[in-house]
Structure 1
Amino acid sequence: MAKAKKETETPGEITAYSVKLKKKNVPMVDPVIDCKSGRYIATGKDSDGNKMAAIMSKATAEEHIKNGNAKKGTGWE
């Protein structure tokens, strides 16, 4: 099987699946990472203003925050 071509993205940028556009790896604008029930969820919008969310590991979430790609939301210790 051939892999699908990725959308153009900036390294370190948070991407997610856009349900409305039906596209993978759509960049998130101004993401905020919340911790809910031990899960790390990045929420934001795409360039058209559609809401998006992506679930990630604690290590990935901390890396995005450390690099300035996202802001800390609620639920962090």
Structure 2
Amino acid sequence: MTTKKKTEEAEGITAYSVKTKTKNVPMIDPVIDIKSGRYIATGKDSEGNKMAAILGKVKAEEHVKSGVATKGSGWE
């Protein structure tokens, strides 16, 4: 389980693609918004399909700090 976390951090944010029904699809150019206290990453997959993933505060801040994602609305 530790290996998966390290791989996910190195690759970026992944999510489930409802359209293609595949897991762990890498998100391209993710933007993390804060809505109602939740951290929501939105972006697109390699085919241009919209994707979203809910993250915890720590993970969201790590992705922004490492440059994988950018801050959207709701950040102070």
Report the TM-score, using the length of structure 2 for normalisation.
0.87
Residues 10 and 60 of structure 1: CA distance in aligned 2, closer, same or farther (over 3 Å): closer
Structure 1: which 5+ residue stretches go unaligned? Answer: 1-5
> 1:3 maps to which residue?
none
1:25 is aligned to: 24
SS of aligned partner of 1:11: helix
User: Aligned-residue CA RMSD in angstroms?
Assistant: 1.9
1:9/1:55 CA distance change after superposition, 3 Å: closer
What is the CA distance between 1:40 and its match in structure 2?
Answer: 0.1
Distance in 2 of aligned mates of 1:65 and 1:9: 14
5+ residue gaps, structure 2, are none
SS of residue in 2 equivalent to 1:21? coil
Share of identical aligned residues, percent? 75
For the pair shown, which has the larger CA radius of gyration, 1 or 2? 1
Q: 1:43-63: CA deviations, max 9, x gaps?
A: 000000000000000100000
Report the Cα offset of residue 9 of structure 1.
6.6
Q: What is the match of residue 69 of structure 1?
A: 68
- After the TM superposition, which segments of 4 or more aligned residues of structure 1 sit over 4 Å from their partners? none
Which structure's residues are more often helix, by fraction? 2
Superposition TM-score, scaled by structure 1 size: 0.86
What is the CA deviation profile of residues 6-51 of structure 1, one whole-angstrom value per residue up to 9, with x for unaligned ones? Answer: 9x97724100000001000000000000000000000000000000
